[in-house]
Amino acid sequence: MASQISPHVRVRFAPSPTGYLHVGGARTALYNYLYAKKNGGEFILRIEDTDEARSTQESLRGVVDDMVWLNLLWAEGVDPVTLKDVGPLGPYRQSERQDIYKKYADELLNAGKAYYCFLTDEEIEKQREEALKAGRSPHVNSPYQDWTLDQAKAKIAEGGKAVVRFKTRELKKDYILNDQVRGEVRFPSDMVGDFVILRSGGMPVYNFCCVIDDHLMKMTHVFRAEEHLPNTLRQMMIYEAFGWQLPEFGHMALILDEDRQKLSKRKGAVACGLLKEEGYLPSAVLNFIALLGWSHPEGKEIMSVDDMIQAFDISRLNHSGAIFDRVKFKWMNAQHLRALPNADLWKAIQPFLAREKMELPQDPVWQDKSISLFKPYMEVLADAIELYKPLNDKSYVILPEADETMKWEPTKAVLTAWRDLVAALPNEFMTEDEFLKLQDEVKNKTGAKGKNLFMPIRVAVIGKPHGAELKILVPLIKKSSLLARAEQALAKI
């Protein structure tokens, strides 16, 4: 009997905790999340950890933390802190649902829709080779599909090792999927042979668990990556065998690198955790991945999650591959970063400055001023490190690249004049105008100009003759620090 699927939207993200959260996975999660929010439904996190050898607690922890970082929070699944089950239709970890899968596998066995198969790997391989030689389809052709259940059980009782296979022989010819992204997809059922649903140890396989769980967890829609399309045929067969109603499916196109190859980490970070370390903002990551295969109806590019929820429509998903343009990604991050209030941006760069153990003024006015001045030069939060380093007294060293400047004849006079004029300043910090005026005074006093003037002053401020613009940096450095640096430079001559 077909069960009734509630009209209340329920969608899920179902990661296998065998590695890190990849931007592709994050996009799948995001589209499901947006769909749920748009439709007042629920977004669920299910953990597909039946691959015992590859699933780890560490990976689960990482995936959950990355989802929390992205603020893609779920209504049911595992608790983000304890990783324990939360929600009425759990357990949400497949490794804890073995009994449920067994019960449904038994149902198919009893109905003759699945069977115990005792073929060994060698026998299967031999069959495959012979089939290929004879130009037949290489699918397994198991003699055990005609055994009665009692016969099979007797063999198991004698120690026989069996997998459970789903029987495809009597199925209809074609399966048609009305995919919400790709339109009509036609699968000839002979695309697959009798596939395994339970391994010989009793561990169920992905396609089987996925159907049981999507049904029992009352999923209305399944949006996932295109690479699962061949699985969908198997899953449709299982739904049919149980007489369950199919959820709506939508398969999202691949994300490609600039050279149109499948996105890989060779060209840069694809793991959400690494993006976080490089200083991408979660809002920018979400904005960027949202546009990998979807577009705002008014062509809007910079969006908040609320903007996305408002505008999200699965029919606007593109079914050709989306290009992961890293230059655009950085640009987009810069837009999000520059839109942050100064105090928030200051807070956001703290973990980056802490990596370098910087000691910077605690004064909020100074912090605000520094952010205003540096913001236009920041694309990712990690850029703050190089920008702020010259302001950190402990980082001041005279670098070997200053050697030549230090040997020039006018350098000593320039440095002396600079130090004396700085010492005479009335305030703790000078303004940009005061700095420019002071530089002119050094020029008048010493007669030095051009690089003979600018380079020694740079060395006295940042320890090298080239680099950041002094008129931005100097107003952020305390008079006492400027003096100490000037003395250090003079002492080198």
14 binds ligand GLU (CB under 6 A): yes
Interface residue with ligand GLU among 10, 11, 15, 284 (CB under 6 A) is 15
Task: Give the residue with the Cβ less far from ligand GLU, 16 or 370.
Answer: 16
Task: Give the residue with the Cβ less far from ligand GLU, 124 or 229.
Answer: 229
Closest contact distance (angstroms) between CB of 100 and ligand GLU is: 17
Stretch that binds ligand GLU, among 11-19, 162-170, 378-386, 397-405 (CB under 6 A): 11-19
Task: Give the residue with the Cβ less far from ligand GLU, 36 or 334.
Answer: 36
| CA-to-CA separations, 206 to 193, 196, 231, 237, 462, in angstroms, rounded | 16, 10, 9, 14, 58
Interface residue with ligand GLU among 11, 16, 26, 387 (CB under 6 A) is 16
Burial of 457 (0-12, 13-18, 19+ CB in 10 A): buried
Closest contact distance (angstroms) between CB of 468 and ligand GLU is: 45
Closest contact distance (angstroms) between CB of 74 and ligand GLU is: 14
Closest contact distance (angstroms) between CB of 350 and ligand GLU is: 34
Closest contact distance (angstroms) between CB of 222 and ligand GLU is: 6
What does the buried/exposed string (b/e) look like for 208-247 if buried means 16 or more CB atoms within 10 Å of the residue's CB? bbbbbbbbebbbbbbbbebebbebbbbbbbbbebbebebb
Q: Are 94 and 50 in contact (CB under 8 A)?
A: yes
Pattern 162-201, ligand GLU, x by CB under 6 A:
----------------------------------------
Task: Give the residue with the Cβ less far from ligand GLU, 250 or 456.
Answer: 250
Closest contact distance (angstroms) between CB of 48 and ligand GLU is: 4
The vertex-68 CA angle with 66 and 74, nearest 5°, equals: 120
Task: Give the residue with the Cβ less far from ligand GLU, 224 or 330.
Answer: 224
Stretch that binds ligand GLU, among 9-17, 170-178, 289-297, 335-343 (CB under 6 A): 9-17
Stretch that binds ligand GLU, among 13-21, 105-113, 150-158, 393-401 (CB under 6 A): 13-21
Q: Extract the tokens encoding 83.
A: 């990783």
Other C-beta atoms closer than 10 Å to the C-beta of 70 total 22
Q: Extract the tokens encoding 224.
A: 């996932």
Closest contact distance (angstroms) between CB of 116 and ligand GLU is: 26
What is the C-alpha to C-alpha distance for residues 361 and 475, in angstroms, rounded to an integer? 13
DSSP SS3 for 223: strand
38 is catalytic: no
Q: Are 174 and 236 in contact (CB under 8 A)?
A: no
Stretch that binds ligand GLU, among 12-20, 152-160, 400-408, 453-461 (CB under 6 A): 12-20
State the first-to-last Cα distance of the chain, in angstroms, to the nearest integer: 92
Task: Give the residue with the Cβ less far from ligand GLU, 16 or 452.
Answer: 16
Q: Identify residues 206-265 at the interface with ligand GLU (CB under 6 A).
A: 210, 224, 228
- Residues in contact with ligand GLU, total (CB under 6 A)? 7
Catalytic residue of the set 84, 262, 265, 492: 265
Give Cβ neighbours of residue 93 (< 8 Å, ≥ 6 apart): 46, 47, 49, 78, 85
Closest contact distance (angstroms) between CB of 163 and ligand GLU is: 20
Closest contact distance (angstroms) between CB of 267 and ligand GLU is: 22
The sign of the CA dihedral 386, 390, 395, 398 is positive
Task: Give the residue with the Cβ less far from ligand GLU, 23 or 334.
Answer: 23
Give Cβ neighbours of residue 270 (< 8 Å, ≥ 6 apart): 22, 23, 24, 263, 264, 324
Q: Are 420 and 428 in contact (CB under 8 A)?
A: no
Interface residue with ligand GLU among 42, 48, 213, 383 (CB under 6 A) is 48
Pattern 116-155, ligand GLU, x by CB under 6 A:
----------------------------------------
Task: Give the residue with the Cβ less far from ligand GLU, 22 or 167.
Answer: 22
What is the C-alpha to C-alpha distance for residues 139 and 455, in angstroms, rounded to an integer? 75
Stretch that binds ligand GLU, among 8-16, 150-158, 184-192, 262-270 (CB under 6 A): 8-16
Pattern 57-76, ligand GLU, x by CB under 6 A:
--------------------
**Tokens 């669920």 found at:** 44
Q: Are 130 and 140 in contact (CB under 8 A)?
A: no
Give Cβ neighbours of residue 340 (< 8 Å, ≥ 6 apart): 281, 348
Please enumerate, as own/partner, the contacts of 337-344 that have beta carbons within 8 Å and a separation of 24 or more: 337/281, 337/284, 337/375, 337/378, 337/379, 337/380, 337/381, 338/375, 338/376, 338/378, 339/302, 340/281, 342/367, 342/368, 342/371, 342/372, 342/375, 343/367, 343/368
Task: Give the residue with the Cβ less far from ligand GLU, 16 or 411.
Answer: 16
Task: Give the residue with the Cβ less far from ligand GLU, 222 or 380.
Answer: 222
Closest contact distance (angstroms) between CB of 14 and ligand GLU is: 4
Beta bridge partners of 477: none
Q: Extract the tokens encoding 37.
A: 């929010």
The residues annotated with a catalytic role in the active site are 265
User: Residue numbers of the site for ligand GLU (CB under 6 A)?
Assistant: 14-16, 48, 210, 224, 228
